[in-house]
Chains A and B, each alone.
Chain A
Amino acid sequence: MAKKKKAIWEWNIVRRALLDAFLKLNPRKMMGNPVMFVVEIGSVITTALLFKGGTAFKFNLQITLWLWFTVLFANFAEAMAEGRGKAQADTLRKARSETIAHRLTGSNGKLEDVPSSKLRAGDLVFVSASEFIPSDGEIIEGVASVDESAITGESAPVIREAGGDRSAVTGGTRVLSDKIKVKITSNPGETFLDRMIALVEGAERQKTPNEIALNILLAGLTIIFLLAVVTLQPFAIYSGSPQTVFVLVSLLVCLIPTTIGGLLSAIGIAGMDRLVQHNVLAMSGRAVEAAGDVNTLLLDKTGTITLGNRQAARFVLAPGVTENELADAAQLSSLADETPEGRSIVVLAKERYGLRGRELSSHDAHFVPFTAQTRMSGVNLNGFEIRKGAADAVYAYLTQHGREVPSAVKTTVEEIARSGGTPLVVAEKTRGALGVIELKDVVKGGMRERFDQLRAMGIKTVMITGDNPLTAAAIAREAGVDDFLAQATPKDKMDLIKKEQAEGKLVAMTGDGTNDAPALAQADVGVAMNTGTQAAKEAGNMVDLDSNPTKLIEVVEIGKQLLMTRGSLTTFSIANDVAKYFAIIPAMFAGTFPVLNALNVMRLQRPESAVLSAVIFNAVIIIALIPLALRGVKYHAMGAAALLRRNLWIYGIGGILIPFIGIKLIDMLITRAGLA
């Protein structure tokens, strides 16, 4: 799946959709959409009457054709939305192609080759380099680099290893190096890939709660208009101006909300599809809707808010030490330190003090690696012993060698700790403390703006971190999150979610570890990282294939966009009716009562052209709005009131005005072409 935005009108999708549009005329399928079902019945009735013959054949034929077009256009919209998913499903199917699995049989350690479709949950298989992983599973032995591009679209291989939070593998991905023993976790047909195919294809698509509610509203409106039109005929007879069935059906079809009715399922499918474009798989449409409603976002600090690693920000000198001395010592002690923190010290020394990296092996240097016991690392070089590490560890080291720690250094250490940084003390055995390196969490660029946007949308952000409250508070302040949970354990996380939910709020979170699973399941929107454990992926209701926790914010926006598109097009559809009344009512009765031409504000040419123009507009607007339905109404991060005002202007007022212009133009066009 490529991440680039797909063009809306891609030819092979359009071609398939054109065919599907006709297949979907099957009344049993149409019944799921009451609005369009009514249009189809209307089309059947007018078609039947057309064969009965009668006057005004040319007009009646055109009406009938355009009624059918209305149904077909709506079907086409749905087929277009599905088509985009189907194209992706085809790519995925290729990945699912049958492979041979080496299954471990019994306890004797013998291997047998079976087709991957025979594998059951609990089976153990071996997968070697360049083989496809036959089904979803968990690595129980070994480590391997895996190409997951079939699923994520990301070509760089990822490491998967037994134990810990990187143990899950997905069927259809390929092992690039090494050999792993995998315990299969899904039965055939239930694998991640299977579910993903079903999801993008929309095969198992169920109407979401909100979609059902909207469908009821639309069905209710349809019944109201049915009553209005059916009873209009007796009123017309009373007034001595009975109408033909063609005109009555035209009026009905124009009034019922065909625009939103025709595009509703396309909007839903496209919403899921947009998530897929962002490489997020939602296990249900319900989760996508819930995402739009989220009140509280729980964001892991590391990797989401900060770059993930602490980085050296500055050097603070001990009394009597020169800048170069400290930088030199800091650099030397870190040259062999491959941790991101260590590398950042080297980088800082180079950028700030112009110290180039040195090749140390020739200097007979002996590196002392960091251990959890000593909590220091360093280098022994030409009789010098340079150490850097946690303040108390270095203090102990110095005391042990009979060195006093200057009070200035101690003060610096405390200051740095208080401001949320991590102080590393640098010392040399004989010279004593040389100074302090301040390590800071680096907040990702643009996060503050994002959180400001979220706040404007009414969403509270809570940063989750294992740091102490002091550090957490400092980072929270810098990043601009609303709240933080420091020294968080999985239980704390769970409690926080429950507390928020008890207040009626919807909570979204991301997670990857097995210990995140309960919280992911509890959260209303739980986005599991694809790199995470199987347990986490099953607990959440979405999986992010890119394993990018920041994406939660986009998920929220997509959820909102989905609902907004529905609401806006509903408003637009209903607002359209005003113009249609002004086109059709005078056309119906101006023959008997010429005074009613006062209502013909568009000055449409003839009664026939007026009715025809309204019907054509009603059909064409569906096609015209397909791109909007598929892309979604543009979301702006702003308060609800401002957003509503904006959308009411565009889709409410616009919805009233546009058909006046459109119908008038079509009327001019068909009159010029001699069609009516």
Chain B
Amino acid sequence: MTANGWFQILFFLALIFLVTKPMGVFMARVFSRERTFMDPVLRPIEKLLYRVTTVDENHEMRWTEYAVSMLLFSLVSMIVLYLMQRLQGYLPFNPQKFGAVSPAHLAFNTAASFTTNTNWQAYAGESTMSYFTQMAGLAYHNFVSAAVGIALAIAFIRGIARRQMETIGNFWVDLVRACLWVLLPFCVVGALVLVSQGVVQNLRPYDKVSVVEPQQVQKLDPNGKPVVGPDGKPVMDTVTEQTIAQGPVASQEIIKEFGTNGGGFFNANSAHPFENPTPLSNLIELFAIFTIGGGLTYTLGRMTGSPRHGWAVWAAMAILFLAGVTVAYWAEARGNPLLANTDQRVTAMQPGGNMEGKEVRFGIANTALWATVTTDASCGAINGWHDSFTPLGGMVPLVNIMLSEVIFGGVGAGMYGMLIYVVLAVFIAGLMVGRTPEYLGKKIEAYDVKMAMLVVLVFPLVILVFTAISSVNGFGTSSIANPGPHGLSEILYAFTSGAGNNGSAFGGITVNTPWYDTTIGVTMLAGRFLMIIPMLAIAGNLAQKKYVPPSLGTFPVTTPLFTVLLIGVILIVGALTFFPALSLGPILEHLLMGIGRTF
């Protein structure tokens, strides 16, 4: 680890600290429909949208109506994306003349993936998706799935803030305002800044260039399998030309980070020089990932009248973030102990440590930071290969997702996920101080605990059950590239990433199979919608409750003690659920590496 590396990490956290309050205040104003400086431009557009769609912006919804509106919207959007993929051959903006996305389970998987803000990609963008699908299908979902997440978080916060009210807001208004006020303006500016760093933005066909040194490579069939000649030897091809993919990348890149979507325009994601060309673009993209998640903590504090509570939650997130990045950075900078005779030191000429699968322009610190940030938030973008991390370094992203991505978290999803933990923490704490538990003046009762437990159950249910089935059946194990504990980590990571709506891949596993496409698709849908419904039920229930003024006997949710307790609950719930699985995956692999066995 280097001072420079640490400086970059802490500088990044300082930026997030600085943006939290302005972003939080802005979002609170937007969703409380107070005036903002953008109203003169955006208000007419908003009104027009409501007139066209016949939405009554003053209509307030109960949680059930809110949930049904959200589900219908997501369902229709998902079907549209599915059809768009299947019909892209007939649609415009397709200079590469890509046919339908096939097989059907891949299109289903992708539709589920983008609707749930997961952006799990079982396809390679540059060789599968037309520009039209990328822009009108995938980027559209990048915006609206993020907006849905923000809307839900705001609805939950309203549930806490409101007193004896039946309603938690209007889904359509929250959705539109999240898109128009929060996402679009930032993305317009952000995309232009990324273009300045060299991110491409065009609709041109792919460039063909002659390579400097022709190369011999194995010939592959359309399924990606090596072609074998009659003599049993692989058929070789001589490559003299390289295709350089193009596209409207910058506009998609910025929302991919800002909406914590993570689905790369290219298969190499943010490791690709056209997506993330410079250390500065790397910092901008990281900043975009945490901005909304950080800001929402302040929005929570402001809308519930307790800004200090917002900061207490922020602090819990920041501490967990630092813990994760420290372990990842340490594990990667330490390098591979089995390569003791190789020079892994930091020098002026090399970054040192475990550089396998990392881009030299980012180095150890920025790759470890990226892996931590993208898995703290549910942004599945990668700028290095998690599969190539050391076992402990690779465990950090895995554990981050297993904690259900509440460390700043996916836009909105991180906030409402965190609030579920808060409800549980407050429940236990309330009992320990001898009061029936209350949270910001709202009693936490059996119904709330029941719903919170339903939310918590979703994760172990889909992750553990699907991983277990995959690990003992041929259709599951045949996809993994590495045996032993590393293979188990690969399967575990895939389902964890799906359930957490993260979308990053550990790699080393072929996921475009009927089994994985379907089950990961189901996992993504469960990880999103099965969690949202009980979460909204809590919001609706809290909104109806009477406000109980705090007294000295009330456990304060604004103190460092609360922060510590919250961290404790997150770690205990996560660790107890996944420790057995982790101990046979990355932990075992780490220990075996110590005695010289690798996978």
Residues of A within 8 A of B (CB): 209-210, 212-214, 216-217, 219-221, 223-225, 227-239, 251, 255, 289-290, 292-293, 295, 455-460, 503-506, 559-564, 566-568, 570-571, 574-575, 577-578, 581, 585, 589, 593, 595-596, 598-599, 635, 639-641, 643-645, 647-648, 651-652
- In the complex, what residue of chain B is closest to A218 when comparing beta carbons? B453
Within the complex, the shortest CB–CB distance from A353 to chain B, in Å, comes to 47
Interface residues of B in 538-581 (CB under 8 A from A): 546-549, 551-556, 559, 561, 565, 568, 572-573, 575-581
In this complex, what residue of A is CB-closest to B472? A234
A209 partner, pick from B435, B445, B554, beta carbons under 8 A: B445
CA distance A564 to B552 in the complex (A): 16
B142-150, B301-309, B458-466 - the one binding chain A: B458-466
Contact of B552 among A214, A221, A562, A639 (CB under 8 A): A639
**B436 with A563: CB separation less than 8 A:** yes
- On whether the beta carbons of B561 and A231 are closer than 8 Å, the reply is no
Inter-subunit contact A593/B592 (CB<8 Å):
yes
Given A238-B488, A504-B441, does the pair A228, B464 have CB atoms closer than 8 Å? yes
| Chain A positions within 8 Å of B424 at CB level | 217
Evaluate contact between B576 and A639: CB separation under 8 angstroms. no
**A216-B449, A217-B449, A567-B432 given; A589·B427 CB < 8 A:** no
Asked if B468 contacts A234 (CB within 8 A), the reply is yes
Q: Cα distance A595–B592 when bound, in Å?
A: 7
Query: Which residue among B464, B561, B573, B581 has the maximum number of chain A CB atoms within 10 Å of its CB?
Result: B464
Q: With A217-B449, A585-B579, A644-B429 given, is the CB distance from A563 to B434 under 8 Å? A: yes
By beta carbon, the residue of chain A nearest B551 is: A458
Whether B485 sits at the interface, judged by CB under 8 Å, is yes
**Contact (Cβ within 8 A) B471 A216:** no
What are 8 A-B contacts with C-beta separation under 8 Å? A224-B573, A228-B460, A228-B579, A231-B467, A563-B430, A640-B435, A641-B556, A648-B565
Which residues of B lie under 8 Å from residue A458 when comparing CB positions? 551-554
Q: Cβ of B467: which chain A residues have Cβ within 8 Å of it?
A: 231, 235
If A563-B435, A578-B575, A599-B587 are given as contacts, then 9 extra A-B residue pairs at C-beta distance below 8 Å, sorted by A number, are A210-B446, A228-B464, A295-B553, A455-B552, A563-B431, A564-B433, A571-B432, A589-B588, A644-B561
- Report the minimum CB–CB distance from B583 to chain A (whole Å): 5
* B interface residue numbers (CB < 8 A to A): 424, 427-436, 441, 444-446, 448-450, 453-454, 456-457, 460-461, 464-465, 467-469, 471-472, 477, 484-485, 487-488, 546-549, 551-556, 559, 561, 565, 568, 572-573, 575-581, 583-584, 587-588, 591-592, 594-595
Measured between C-beta atoms, what is the minimum distance from B566 to chain A in Å? 12
Which of A459, A566, A639 has most B Cβ within 10 Å? A639
Question: Quick check: A255 and B445 within 8 Å, CB to CB?
Answer: no
Q: How many A-B residue pairs have CB under 8 A?
A: 211
With A209-B436, A292-B436, A651-B432 already in contact, the answer to whether A235 and B445 are too (CB < 8 A) is no
Q: How far is the CA of A237 from the CA of B592 in the complex (A)?
A: 18
Known: A235-B581, A255-B576, A570-B428. A293 touches B435 (CB 8 A): yes
CA distance A644 to B563 in the complex (A): 13
Contact yes or no, A234 B432, CB < 8 A: no
A599 to B575, CA, bound (A): 15
Nearest neighbor of A584 in chain B, beta-carbon distance? B580
Is B588 a contact of A635 with CB atoms below 8 Å?
A: no
- Contact A567 B591, beta carbon cutoff 8 Å: no
- Say whether chain A's binding surface is mostly helix, strand, loop, or mixed: helix
Give the 10 A-B residue pairs with the shortest CB-CB distance, closest first: A567-B431, A458-B553, A560-B434, A220-B453, A458-B552, A458-B551, A567-B432, A231-B468, A595-B591, A234-B468
Find out whether the CB atom of B580 lies under 8 angstroms from the CB atom of A641. Answer: no
> How far is it, in angstroms, between the C-alpha of A223 and the C-alpha of B588 when the chains are bound?
26
Tell me if A640 and B427 are in contact (CB < 8 A): no
Of the candidates B450, B465, B592, which one forms a contact with A231 in the assembled complex, judged by CB atoms under 8 Å apart?
B465
Instruction: Assess whether A505 is in contact with B553, with CB atoms less than 8 Å apart.
Output: no
* Best-surrounded residue of A255, A593, A644 (most CB of chain B within 10 A): A644
Question: Closest CB-CB distance, B571 to chain A, in whole Å?
Answer: 10
Nearest-neighbor residue (CB-CB) of A504 within chain B: B548
Closest to B487 in A: A238
Of chain A, the residue at the smallest CB distance from B432 is A567
Instruction: Kindly report which residue of chain A lies nearest to residue B569, judged by CB atoms.
Output: A574
The minimal Cβ–Cβ distance linking B544 to chain A, given in whole angstroms, is 13
Could you tell me the distance in whole angstroms from the C-beta of B383 to the nearest C-beta in chain A? Answer: 30
CB neighbours of B441 from chain A (8 A): 504
